[in-house]
Chains A and B, each alone.
Chain A
C-alpha cells in the first residue's frame, strides 16, 4: 500500500517536471518549427506540431529581402565592442579596487553600483543630447558607449570579487622578483581571472545583444540598427500582412547562438548571475 503511494507520488512529481520543461521550452520550439513551415501550412487552422511540410524560404527571405545580415553584423560589432570595452575598463579598475591600497575604494564602488540603479529611460534624454552633441548619433561607437551604462557596473562588481579571491602570495612573489604592479596585473593576475572574464564577458555580451531601447532611439535606418529593433519593426509587403514566417526565422537566427552559449557555459553563467545579483 505504502509502496504504491510512493510510486504515485513519484509519477506526479515527474509529471510536474515535464510540465515545467514544456512550459519553458515550448514557445521556442514553436518559433523554430514555425520558421520552417511554408506560409500555407503556417496559416492553417490546424497547424502541425512538427516542421512539416518543410521549407527554408523564410530564411532566404530574411537574408535576401530585408537588411537582416547588416543588422546581425551591427549587433555583433556593438555587443562585441561594448563587451570588450567594459572588460578592459573593468579589469583595470577591478584590480585597483580589489588588490591595491586605495582609500576611497568604497566610495568608488558605490558610485559604480549607483549606476546600475538608473533605469535606462531616466538618462535617455540626456544621452540623446550627448550623442548628438558629440556627433555620435546613429554610429556604432555611440551605441557602444551608451551600453557601458549597464555592462560596466556589472563587469566591475563581478571582477572585483574575482580579484579579491586570488591568493596574496602570488602577488608578493611577483613583487619580490622585481615586477611592477602593472606587470603583476598583466602577467600574473590577469591569466588567473580567465574564468571571471569569460563569465562577465558573456553576460555583458548577452545584455548588449538583447538591448532594445537605446538601439531603437539612437539609430535610424539599417546601416547601424541592431537586430532587436529590426525584428520589432519587421514589416510585410503591406501593413496588413505580417510575415510571421520571416519574423520567426529572424528570431531563431538571433536566439540560437545565445541558447548554445547558455547551454555550453551554463554553470558559469548561473554562478555569475547569482554572484552579481547577491553583490548588487
Chain B
C-alpha cells in the first residue's frame, strides 16, 4: 500500500520540475524547429510564410555563417588547449604540499567568481591603448617597443579575447583536474620512486593515464562552453565580423535583424554542431576514459 502511495507522491513531486523543463526548454526548442521552416520576422509584422528548407539552404551558402563558424572553432580550439595546459600546471602546483597552499587555492578561484561581463570590462581597461596597465608595463619592462591598440587591431583582438577567457575559466579546469589528482593513490608514486622512476617518468606513466577520466570530463565541459561563447565576445567587440561567433551571429540575426526564420535555422545548426562534438567526444575520449 505504502508503495503505491509513494509512486503517486513521486509523480506529484516530479511534476513541477517536468512542467518547468517543458516550459523553458521543450516548448521554446519546438518553436525554434518550427519557425526555422518559415520566412518570418520576430514581431510578425508580415504574415509568416512557409518556405520548407530554404533557410537551411541559405545557411549553407552564407559567408557570414561560415566566418562565424570558423571564428567559433578557432576560439574553441585555442582557448580550450591553453586552458587545459595551464589548468593542469596549476592543478599540479596546488596539489603538491607547501606552506600557504590553502590561500593559493583560494586565490586561483577569484577569476572564476567574477562575472564574465565584469572580467571583460576589467581586461578592456587593462588593454587600453594609452592608459592600459599592460601597455604601460610592457613598454617599461621593454617587452613592447611601443603601445599597442590590442582591441582595435584585427589580428590582435581575437587573441586578446582568448586571453580573457583563458584567465576567467582556467580555475574551473584546474579544480576539476585537482579533484582527479586527489583520487590517485599516493602509494603508486612511492613504489615508482623506489623503482627509481624520475619525476617526469612518474608523470607520464602514473599521473597522466590515471588523470584521463577527469581530463575527459573537463575537456567536454570546456569545449561545449566554448562552442556557445557569447558574453566575452559581445562585450569586448560587439558584432564585429572578425570575432563574431555563432552565438553572437545568431542573436544579431534574431534580435537586431528581427529575422525569426533564419535565426531559428542558425539555432538548429548550433545545436547540431554541439551534438556532433558530444558524440565525437563520447566515442573517442569517452571510451578511452572508461577503460
Q: Of A27, A206, A229, which contacts B113 at CB under 8 A?
A: A206
Contact with A along B222-234 (1 / 0, CB 8 A): 0010011011001
Q: Are A34 and B125 interface neighbours, CB within 8 A?
A: yes
Q: Are B117 and A212 interface neighbours, CB within 8 A?
A: yes
Q: Are A152 and B20 interface neighbours, CB within 8 A?
A: yes
Contact with B along A188-224 (1 / 0, CB 8 A): 0000000000000000001001101100010000000
Q: Are B10 and A100 interface neighbours, CB within 8 A?
A: yes
Q: Are A212 and B230 interface neighbours, CB within 8 A?
A: yes
Q: Are B230 and A213 interface neighbours, CB within 8 A?
A: yes
Q: Of B104, B247, B264, which contacts A17 at CB under 8 A?
A: B104
Q: Of A95, A228, A251, which contacts B13 at CB under 8 A?
A: A95
Q: Are A31 and B122 interface neighbours, CB within 8 A?
A: yes
- How distant is A256 from chain B, measured CB to nearest CB, in Å? 10
Q: Of B21, B93, B114, B125, which contacts A258 at CB under 8 A?
A: B114
A126 at the binding interface (Cβ < 8 Å): yes
In the docked arrangement, what's the CA distance between A89 and B11, Å? 13
Contact A149-B25, Cβ < 8 Å, known A231-B117, A262-B110: yes
In the docked arrangement, what's the CA distance between A156 and B121, Å? 33
A64 at the binding interface (Cβ < 8 Å): no
A interface bracket (residues with beta carbon within 8 Å of B): 35 or more
Task: Tell me the chain A residues, 229-280 only, with Cβ under 8 Å from chain B.
Answer: 229, 231-232, 244, 247-248, 251, 254-255, 258-259, 261-263, 266, 269-270, 273-274, 277-278, 280
Contact A125-B31, Cβ < 8 Å, known A25-B107, A266-B106: yes
Q: Are B109 and A266 interface neighbours, CB within 8 A?
A: yes
Residues of B contacting A119 with CB < 8 Å? 224, 227-228, 247, 270-271, 274
Q: Of B9, B100, B227, B250, which contacts A100 at CB under 8 A?
A: B9
Q: Are A93 and B122 interface neighbours, CB within 8 A?
A: no
B278 at the binding interface (Cβ < 8 Å): yes
Q: Are A30 and B122 interface neighbours, CB within 8 A?
A: yes
Extra A-B contacts (17), CB below 8 Å, given A263-B106, A273-B172: A21-B104, A30-B133, A34-B125, A96-B14, A103-B7, A121-B247, A126-B28, A127-B24, A146-B24, A152-B21, A181-B6, A213-B230, A213-B231, A228-B115, A229-B117, A232-B235, A248-B125
List 6 tightest A-B contacts by C-beta distance, closest first.
Answer: A126-B28, A126-B31, A119-B228, A210-B115, A93-B17, A96-B13
A-B contact pairs, 27 of them (CB 8 A): A16-B93, A20-B108, A25-B107, A28-B114, A42-B131, A43-B131, A89-B16, A89-B17, A115-B21, A121-B270, A125-B260, A125-B267, A128-B255, A130-B28, A180-B5, A210-B116, A213-B230, A232-B117, A247-B121, A254-B115, A254-B118, A258-B115, A262-B110, A273-B176, A274-B176, A277-B176, A277-B221
